[in-house]
Amino acid sequence: MKPVILNNLLNKNNLWNGCMLASIAHAIMVAHYPELSYEHSWDGINYSVVDDSGGRGTVTFSDKYCIAAFRNDNVTCTECSTAIDFFKGAPREVLRLAESETLEYLLEEGEDGISNPSITTAFWADGDNVISIDSIVKIIQNGGYLLERQLTEYEAAVKSWQTYYEMTNQQVALVESIYAKKIKNPNSNILLTRRESKMIGTENIEGLSESKTSFEEIGITWDN
């Protein structure tokens, strides 16, 4: 198995933008659906996404690379004996980040009680290309489908998130406004005004608590 370039149009910056858009939509709408708080989360440079049908994945963003790994509990993968085998041929920095960051979010306890990384596909990307030992089809089937909206062109992605969450036009406007600020200043903390926080559109205490937590994970706080 040799790594191959899968796509020279998608790169880590586009993927980061898509993950950030997803996270902002989630942070707003989890106020209305706190039971969905598990679906999207950030821990430092690591973005994790989970669904309710056995899929989970983590994408690690460094200055030069992004590293993505996924597990789909509905498929069996026999090509690689260990998780790190999915990164065969990757640069040393990618291997280091995969082991110390990405795969730490995809641990599974074995029969011996010891937890080890367990994945069914992976890829890495730099500023120009997406690379994997798997084909695009296999990546999608084995867990990459979790990034479908994150890899969609911006306007189509916004519409897709609007449909998924049944967002009002005001909530969509809030997503787009916050996203524009975050993309312009990705490393700066952002403070939402009282008016912006009201645009979320609920007084649900549990939901607002989950919303604040999700926003804080991406460097966004509320004006109380």
Q: What would the pLDDT profile of 15-72 be if each residue is shown by its tens digit?
A: 999 999 999 999 999 999 999 999 999 999 999 999 999 999 999 999 999 999 999 9
**pLDDT attached to residue 17:** 96
Q: How far is CA 35 from CA 32, 40, 88, 110, in A?
A: 9, 12, 38, 28
**pLDDT attached to residue 3:** 62
User: In terms of DSSP bridges, do strands 40-43 and 46-50 run parallel, antiparallel, or are they unpaired?
Assistant: antiparallel
139 half-sphere exposure, CB direction, 13 A CA radius: 20
Q: What is the mean pLDDT of residues 196-215?
A: 94
**pLDDT attached to residue 8:** 55
**pLDDT attached to residue 35:** 96
For residue 142, with 0-12 CB atoms within 10 Å meaning exposed, 13-18 middle and 19 or more buried, which class applies?
buried
**pLDDT attached to residue 87:** 95
User: In terms of DSSP bridges, do strands 190-192 and 220-222 run parallel, antiparallel, or are they unpaired?
Assistant: parallel
**pLDDT attached to residue 25:** 98
159 half-sphere exposure, CB direction, 13 A CA radius: 5
CA 154/CA 117 separation, integer angstroms? 32
Q: What is the mean pLDDT of residues 151-160?
A: 95
Q: What is the mean pLDDT of residues 194-207?
A: 93
Q: What is the mean pLDDT of residues 191-217?
A: 94
In the chain the beta strands, taken as DSSP E runs, fall at 4-7, 40-43, 46-50, 55-61, 66-72, 107-109, 115-117, 121-125, 130-132, 190-192, 220-222
**Which candidate, 148, 106, 149, 150, places its Cα nearest to that of 12?**
150
Supply the Cα-derived Rg of the chain in whole angstroms: 18
Compare 8 and 174 and report the one with higher pLDDT: 174
pLDDT digits (tens, 9 = 90+) for 125-138: 987 788 999 988 99
Q: How far is CA 5 from CA 15, 63, 215, in A?
A: 16, 20, 34
**Which candidate, 126, 129, 109, 127, places its Cα nearest to that of 117?**
109
Q: What is the mean pLDDT of residues 131-152?
A: 93
pLDDT digits (tens, 9 = 90+) for 57-114: 999 999 999 999 999 999 887 677 799 999 999 999 999 999 999 999 999 887 777 8
**Threshold 0.85, pTM exceeds:** yes
Residue found under tokens 């406004």: 177
Q: pLDDT-based confidence at 224, cuts 50/70/90?
A: low
Do 222 and 215 form a contact (C-beta atoms < 8 A)?
yes
Amino acid at position 168, single letter: T
Say yes or no to pLDDT of 10 above 80: no
